[in-house]
Amino acid sequence: MHVRSLARSIPVIAVLCAVTPLSATRALAQDDTRTLPAVTVAEVTTAAFVQRVPVSGNVVARNEVLVNPEVSGHRIAEFEVDIGDAVETGDVLARLDERVLRRQLQLRELALSQAEASFEQARSQVAADQAQLDQANSVLDRAQRLRDSGTGTQASLDDAIAAQAAAQSALTASSDGITLAQSQIEEAKINRDLASEDLENATITAPVDGIVTARDAQIGSTVSTGQTIFRILRDGAVDVEAEVVETELGQIEPGDRAELQIAGIGSIQGTVQNIDPTVDPVTRLGVVEIEPESKEGLRPGLFVGGWIITAERTSLAVPASAVINDGATASVLVEKDGTLERREIVAGLIWGNQREVLGGLEEGERVLARAAGFFSDGDRVRPVTGQGD
């Protein structure tokens, strides 16, 4: 009875002995995988990258026109515009006291009338002297014929010659007088026109279309030529003069896009127009001229901050924390089937938490997302899909 029981148990033991090594092997493999370090890996994808340079500066007038009076010594009677007003060419800005100017114009007109009267007198005198000369010529002609015929005396001829010469002199003098009278008329006309212009200039008008940005006088103040009374922002056009650190100037080119934040205005776009060829030797800053987009409220003096975009492109990307920087080279640890491979890459821009890859990787590959400095080429790991820092 004992022998049969033993015989029946032998096959069961044999089976158990045959199964145990296979299960143990699998369990061992599972235990080995669990002991591998878990690492976060990220897939190589494409992303947008931006390179930008910080700027700060002020809004400045592109073309500021100074308005000066054309006459001196007269008081401002009234203003027609104030700072911030939009004006068009010819709009009245201010008026000067015209009383003295009107009297001056009246005097110039009176002087012209007197010169014209003098001219008429001179012309009448010329006519009279011409008549006297004609008569003297007739007398001389008759005296000459009588003398030639022997019936006239030499004395009569001499008197006729003297009278003709006197009449000729008188005509010459009166002719000179009419020339002088004509010049006096021209002078009087010029003075009259100047007085008329002065009176017209007592009304100060806008020379261009634009916005009044300054008014540098008060009602009752006496003006002089060369004194700036108004400043007009021509066509309302402004620019941004932005300061950039000297080490960043080389990245900027005309035509680059700018993203600006302007005090009281908000966010607007702009375009780089010009880069100053010099750098301030004290501050080590250069000036970049930016043309902002048109927006209501832009005026000289506003503070500006923002960025100039020097590069924008879509490229392969990995988490910035995945890149190992070793001097002049950059590399990543590529994970494939649980094994790490150190691979040198061509690294580009950093944007957010992403690093641009210009060479060395293919889209879809997986890289160690962080803690790359603690692993080496050929290490075995347990990859966990996630995002880099």
Q: Any idea where the domains of the chain sit in the sequence?
A: 38-49+314-385, 54-62+236-312, 65-97+202-235, 98-201
Q: Rounded to the nearest 10 degrees, what angle do helices 154-201 and 99-149 cross at?
A: 170
Q: Is 226 helix (H, G, I), strand (E, B) or coil?
A: coil
The contacts of residue 116 (CB under 8 Å, 6+ apart) are 185, 188
The whole-number pLDDT of residue 304 equals 96
174/180 Cα distance (integer angstroms): 10
* Pair 227, 76: CB distance under 8 Å: no
pLDDT category of residue 387 using cuts at 50, 70 and 90: low
319/336 Cα distance (integer angstroms): 17
Domain 38-49+314-385 class in CATH: mainly beta
Is a pLDDT exceeding 70 seen at residue 95? Answer: yes
Query: What's the mean pLDDT when you consider all of the chain?
Result: 87
The whole-number pLDDT of residue 32 equals 57
Least confident range of 29-33, 200-204, 244-248, 305-309: 29-33
- Work out whether strand 38-43 and strand 382-385 pair parallel, antiparallel, or are unpaired: parallel
More confident residue, 350 or 25: 350
The whole-number pLDDT of residue 33 equals 60
Equal CATH topology for 65-97+202-235 and 98-201: no
Residue range 284-314, pLDDT digits in tens: 999 999 999 988 888 888 999 999 999 999 9
* Planar angle of CA 104, 110, 115, nearest 5 degrees: 125
Is a pLDDT exceeding 90 seen at residue 317? Answer: yes
Residue range 154-193, pLDDT digits in tens: 888 888 889 889 988 888 888 888 888 899 999 999 999 9
pTM tops 0.85, yes or no: no
Q: Specify the CATH number for 65-97+202-235; select among 2.40.50.100, 3.40.50.720, 2.60.120.10, 3.40.50.150.
A: 2.40.50.100
Q: Specify the CATH number for 98-201; select among 2.50.20.10, 1.10.287.620, 1.10.3720.10, 1.10.520.10.
A: 1.10.287.620
Residue with tokens 């080279």: 329
Report the largest interatomic distance among the alpha carbons of the chain, rounded to a whole angstrom: 212
Give the mean pLDDT of 354-379: 90
The proportion of the chain whose per-residue pLDDT surpasses 90, expressed as a percent, equals 61
On whether the 54-62+236-312 domain is CATH 2.40.30.170, my answer is yes
pLDDT category of residue 389 using cuts at 50, 70 and 90: very low
Q: Which contiguous run of DSSP H or E holds residue 384?
A: strand 382-385
* Pair 229, 83: CB distance under 8 Å: no
Give the mean pLDDT of 198-208: 93
Residue range 10-63, pLDDT digits in tens: 443 333 334 444 444 444 444 456 689 999 999 999 999 999 999 999 999 888
The whole-number pLDDT of residue 298 equals 85
pLDDT category of residue 386 using cuts at 50, 70 and 90: low
Give the mean pLDDT of 257-274: 94
The whole-number pLDDT of residue 129 equals 84
288/301 Cα distance (integer angstroms): 16
Is a pLDDT exceeding 80 seen at residue 5? Answer: no
* Pair 229, 254: CB distance under 8 Å: no
Residue range 125-156, pLDDT digits in tens: 888 988 988 998 888 888 888 888 878 888 88
- Which alpha helices (DSSP H) does the chain contain, by range? 2-35, 99-149, 154-201
Q: Is 277 helix (H, G, I), strand (E, B) or coil?
A: strand
The whole-number pLDDT of residue 25 equals 43
The whole-number pLDDT of residue 192 equals 94
Q: For residue 44, what are the CA distances in angstroms to 40, 41, 346, 350?
A: 13, 10, 14, 15
Q: What is the Cα gyration radius of the chain?
A: 51
135/170 Cα distance (integer angstroms): 13
Give the mean pLDDT of 205-234: 91
